């Protein structure tokens, strides 16, 4: 979850319990909450399919396609993985930027923008010519598109969790908010299965020439599905109340600076947990 978005969550929780009633008073019904969870998961599967699709393609294709002059085949794979790392650099930046946008315009619109952004970047990756066609422009464009992809995923991930959290009752907020995170390995598995299928049904030279592109082009189809599903969700009442309160109190500021000042321990703990998970 992005740092800046935690301010919105904290303020929403506080605004929802002026008399000790707690967030459960404005929580969505169970049936409505399931629809919100399904919409968040559908979009998150799409986002992470595209994010991890790059990882699999980097190990199978990109080394020889974009870095044929790297030396050995292993050198090409290492160069491809360096471009893969660009997405992780872009993710926190996307979280900060889209966190601010989400606090002002709403989670729904932010999630719609991010799913389109990551879909366009992924589709264009499948259209890129190789090094033998346009030289160093090929890996340069790949890096640019990878940055855009990671930037969008950084905004989507925290927004999807927040959308569910803000609709959830207080006593089970952690349970419901865990479901969008479960979509991460689902997206990874889907990306692996698509490329595995293409590598099975095509000869190796055809797979390396154009077969891998199909997996990237498929992102256009699943992005349309994910966007349609997300267009049918509504903002949580707790978020709308908090936004109205902030707009009324013009002296109140929010964003990265405020969350770091008010909740430094929570931010550092969350970062530490994520470091430990990702290192493993």
Residue 252 pLDDT: 62
**In this predicted model, what pLDDT tens digit does every residue of 216-249 receive, in sequence order?**
998 888 888 878 877 777 777 777 777 777 777 7
Averaged pLDDT, 76-90: 90
Averaged pLDDT, 37-45: 83
**Residue 151 belongs to a domain with what CATH number?**
1.20.1250.20
* Most confident by average pLDDT, 63-67, 162-166, 247-251: 63-67
Task: State the residue range of the domain holding 77.
Answer: 29-235
How far from 103 is each of 83, 246, 255, CA to CA, in Å?
Answer: 31, 10, 9
* Domains of the chain: total: 1
The larger pLDDT score, comparing residue 1 to residue 204, is at 204
> Does 52 map to a domain?
yes
> Does 75 map to a domain?
yes
Residues 52 and 191 sit within 8 Å (Cβ to Cβ): yes
First-to-last C-alpha distance (Å) of the chain: 19
- What count of residues does the chain have? 280
Run of H or E including 187: helix 173-201
Residues 147 and 75 sit within 8 Å (Cβ to Cβ): no
Q: Is the dihedral of CA 161, 164, 169, 174 positive or negative?
A: negative
* Most confident by average pLDDT, 100-109, 115-124, 217-226, 240-249: 115-124
What is the average pLDDT score of the chain? 82
Residue 138 pLDDT: 93
Residue 27 pLDDT: 58
> Does 92 map to a domain?
yes
> Which band of pLDDT confidence, cut at 50, 70 and 90, is reported for residue 8?
very low
């Amino acid at each position: 979850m992005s740092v800046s978005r935690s301010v919105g969550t904290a303020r929403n929780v506080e605004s929802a319990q002026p008399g000790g009633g707690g967030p459960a008073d404005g929580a969505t019904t169970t049936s409505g909450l399931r629809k919100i969870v399904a919409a968040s998961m559908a979009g998150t599967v799409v986002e992470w399919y595209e994010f991890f699709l790059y990882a699999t393609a980097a190990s199978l294709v990109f080394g020889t396609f974009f870095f044929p002059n790297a030396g050995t085949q292993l050198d090409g794979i290492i160069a491809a993985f360096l471009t893969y790392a660009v997405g992780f650099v872009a993710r926190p930046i996307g979280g900060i930027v889209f966190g601010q946008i989400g606090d002002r315009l709403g989670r729904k619109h932010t999630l719609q923008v991010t799913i389109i952004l990551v879909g366009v970047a992924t589709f264009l990756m499948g259209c890129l010519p190789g090094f033998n066609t346009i030289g160093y422009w090929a890996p340069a464009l790949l890096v640019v598109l990878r940055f855009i992809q990671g930037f969008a995923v950084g905004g989507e991930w925290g927004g999807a969790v927040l959308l569910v959290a803000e609709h959830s009752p207080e006593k089970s907020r952690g349970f419901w908010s865990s479901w969008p995170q479960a979509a991460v390995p689902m997206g990874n598995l889907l990306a692996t299965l698509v490329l595995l299928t293409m590598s099975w049904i095509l000869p190796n030279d055809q797979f390396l020439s154009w077969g891998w592109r199909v997996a990237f082009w498929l992102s256009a189809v699943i992005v349309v599905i994910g966007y349609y599903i997300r267009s049918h969700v509504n903002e949580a009442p707790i978020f709308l109340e908090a936004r109205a309160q902030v707009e009324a109190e013009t002296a109140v500021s929010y964003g990265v600076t405020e969350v770091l000042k008010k909740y430094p321990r929570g931010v550092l703990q969350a970062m530490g947990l994520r470091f430990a998970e990702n290192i493993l």
